[in-house]
Amino acid sequence: MFSKIFKVVIIGLTFISLFVSANTSKEVFYNGNYYNLSIPEGFCDITDNSTGKFMKSFLNDSLAKAGGLVSAKVIFSECGKEIDPINLLPWGYVGMGTNKDVTQRQFNKFTSKNMNSNFMNNLEDIVNKSANKTLEDYELSSFGKIEIDMGKPEVLWSDDNSLIVYVRASDGNILQDGVFSTTVLPKAFVYTYLYDDVKNNPNILGLASKLNKVAIKNIESN
């Protein structure tokens, strides 16, 4: 089961805790400013307990090796499932990146235009190399080499609040559906990642709707 947990986390690049926060938002500090980051409806913040801290550390170590453009700030899991250590999905996290005068429309246009097979292949190479190096650093290579395979991304929603993208990813054992939103603030990007096991038959448009609401709240509160 420990091996499965790591593969779930790396595709998101889990542990489930008995102690979570039902807050719908969390204040974080990033690049000299405080931000109030929203969590999707039905999910609970696990950032500050021992398992959430481990997940955040592991993600940030992997993200740093992948270029450091994103910093994980909030880890969350579905409320009510924290007592089941076998059922690790759905889960997600909120990340942040530095914005240097890019508007939401510019980001949406550029990203939509460049999300092709070459982009995804390059992303797979970066994620796999950084994740496997982090496993080595944590002395966890015995759980096996990670080889993530990402499908073709699909834009689900694009407006002045966010860009929402869907992609299916697999490591050969676990098949996950991922829905990601990016909201552009004046000095920062807010990335919200939400994952679920394909076996759970997730409602992709329902997940996208949750992220659209999160995007609106992030703009209103920041």
DSSP annotation string for 129-153: HHHHHHHHHTT-GGG-----EE---
- 75 within 8 A of 93, measured Cβ to Cβ: yes
Please give the pLDDT value at position 54. Answer: 80
Other CB atoms within a 10 A radius of the CB of residue 151 amount to 14
Q: What CA–CA distances, in Å, run from 33 to 15, 29, 52, 69, 96?
A: 29, 6, 23, 17, 12
Extract the tokens encoding 177: 């559906």
Please give the pLDDT value at position 135. Answer: 74
Please give the pLDDT value at position 147. Answer: 74
Please give the pLDDT value at position 185. Answer: 97
Q: What is the DSSP letter of 199?
A: G
Please give the pLDDT value at position 78. Answer: 87
pTM over 0.95: no
Please give the pLDDT value at position 126. Answer: 75
In which residue ranges of the chain is pLDDT below 70? 1-23, 81-88, 117, 119-120, 139-140, 142-144, 172
- 157 within 8 A of 208, measured Cβ to Cβ: yes
Extract the tokens encoding 14: 């889990």
Please give the pLDDT value at position 143. Answer: 67
Q: At what angle do helices 50-65 and 2-12 cross, to 10 degrees?
A: 50
Is the alpha carbon torsion for 106, 109, 112, 117 positive or negative? negative
Residue 154 makes CB contacts below 8 A (sequence gap 6+) with: 165, 166, 167
